[in-house]
Structure 1
């Protein structure tokens, strides 16, 4: 969508704010396939942020354990590379593109301004973070390190293994929740920035109808693709296995009618919808 806006600003009035296609509205299941490592990492983090938001509603000790585990997983992903630099670069590029677009006639300035304000807020939030803060959190906090080191062992964080953890979980909910919120505070700017970037990416192109003849679909995109989104109707009773390369991708539809039996390829035509997203 953003590419289209750069060449045809008149479409801006109809297409902003960006609203990614809803799988629920299509009565379909959305399957996403990242086509580069950066988007792959962003999708993993989005998944972890979603888990954290879900577990935050659970005040039980198991809910608190799940919430802390999600926090540790998120810090681990963030500590593996300089994602702050990566996401800042992506957001600043989009901010620059849209700022230049604002000088063109026929652009809805109110809607454009709303997106630019979101981008500015996300960039400012990230710029206030210390670089590699995630690695520091896992390295400098002895309490978190002790739990993190046991997570690879099945059941390794139970009470007799980590009495300090067991004691902390036994404190009033307000005390535990305060600590968890404090640890998550530095992650909130990443959650906002990555959520905004993925929203722009998912809204970058229109949905296209397609048919997998005999359960197989091969496509050669016209340009680079960062994220492939496949919407499969519930009635199809199948899921896609996606194999993607630099110049083409293949989607093979597979039926899974019984999880206790081996899945098999579908040999009938499967109608679906597809998005080849890129910024």
Structure 2
């Protein structure tokens, strides 16, 4: 859900924000499953850990987050002398950015690749996860053995695997919060279900807020223009088509 209880759809306009949103999605999934201490909850938690480690092994997320934090801090620090800026609030944000950056600096590079390679349990589960049903007990008896250990042991192992992911998660959370806060929502109307928008230079994220659950937006956006098409689902045939109704919605274009 988005602002004021509206259903929020987001469209990133660059690869960095796209990766950050994926990481936010994966960490939210991890925390949801980590609260479930059942047999299947533990398996879902490990799957979420592996997805996080895999995406971090393929992308230099640690470096991307660190550079984004430094850039954002530099931009905000330039506002310190302006009369229309709340100095106390700015100081708190800068301190938050500094604290997250310090935590990030203590993370070794390529930690996710080493963990996926050197931890035998994670490596075995990761190698079999691409196969449907590939992590059954007869395929991975060692995994079944681990799942049968006391809850304290499982919690400790999961916490150790996530210890270097958490600072990156915190950095992404701060950056996405600041980016979203930088966009002001305005009401728009999509005539016949279509809305065209000229995007301002530097726009990184488009947010569409809806209180009409009968439709959903498909957003295509480039450097200069965005198109929002509102779609509906035919419940009898299961097909998606563009609505021809006028749709009122909220829209925010976010940029630092």
Instruction: Please name the residue that 2:2 is paired with.
Output: 23
Alpha-carbon displacement from aligned partner over 1:94-149 (angstroms, at most 9, x marks no partner) = 11122222133343222111111110111011110001111111112122110000
The offset of 1:24, in angstroms, is: 5.5
User: Aligned ranges for residues 135-150 of structure 1 at < 5 Å?
Assistant: 135-150=113-128
**Distance in 2, Cα, partners of 1:277 & 1:58:** 35
Query: Are residues 1:205 and 2:191 paired?
Result: no
Aligned to 1:111: 89
Seen in structure 2, the aligned counterparts of structure 1 residues 176 and 253 have a Cα distance that, compared at 3 Å, is same
Unaligned 5+ runs, structure 1: 1-21
Distance (Å, rounded) in 2 between the aligned partners of 1:174 and 1:71? 18
1:217 to 167, 190, 195: 195
Aligned counterparts of 1:119 and 1:131: Cα–Cα separation in 2: 20
- Following superposition, the deviation at residue 177 of structure 1 comes to 1.1
SS at match of 2:239: coil
Matches within 5 A, 1:56-75: 56-75=34-53
Could you tell which deviates more after superposition, 206-215 or 105-114?
Answer: 105-114
Write the distance in 2 (CA, Å) between the matches of 1:278 and 1:209.
Answer: 18
- Map of 1:18-57 to 2, 5 A cutoff? 23=2, 25=4, 27-57=5-35
Contact 2:57–2:110 (8 Å) recurs in 1: yes
Larger displacement relative to structure 2 (105-114 or 129-138): 105-114
Which residues of 2 match residues 210-249 of structure 1 at below 5 A? 210-234=188-212, 237-249=214-226
What is the root-mean-square deviation of aligned Cα atoms in Å?
A: 1.4
Alignment of 1:136-215 (within 5 A): 136-215=114-193
In 2: Cα distance, 1:196 partner to 1:178 partner: 26
Shift of 1:195: 0.4
**What 5-or-longer segments of structure 2 have no aligned partner?**
none
CA shift at 1:207, angstroms?
0.5
- Alpha-carbon distance between aligned partners in 1 of 2:90 and 2:123, rounded to the nearest angstrom: 44
Aligned length: 256
SS class of match (1:101)? coil
Q: Which residue of structure 2 aligns with residue 14 of structure 1? A: none
- Alignment TM-score, normalising by the size of structure 1: 0.88
- Give how far 1:61 is off: 1.1
User: CA separation in 2, counterparts of 1:259 and 1:57?
Assistant: 37
Residues 260 and 126 (structure 1 numbering): CA distance in 2 closer, same or farther, change over 3 Å? farther
> Cα 1:260–1:70, aligned 2, differ >3 Å: closer, same or farther?
farther
Q: What CA distance in whole angstroms lies between the structure 2 residues aligned with 1:123 and 1:97?
A: 15
Evaluate the alpha carbon distance shift between residue 31 and residue 259 of structure 1 in structure 2; reply closer, same or farther with a 3 A threshold: farther
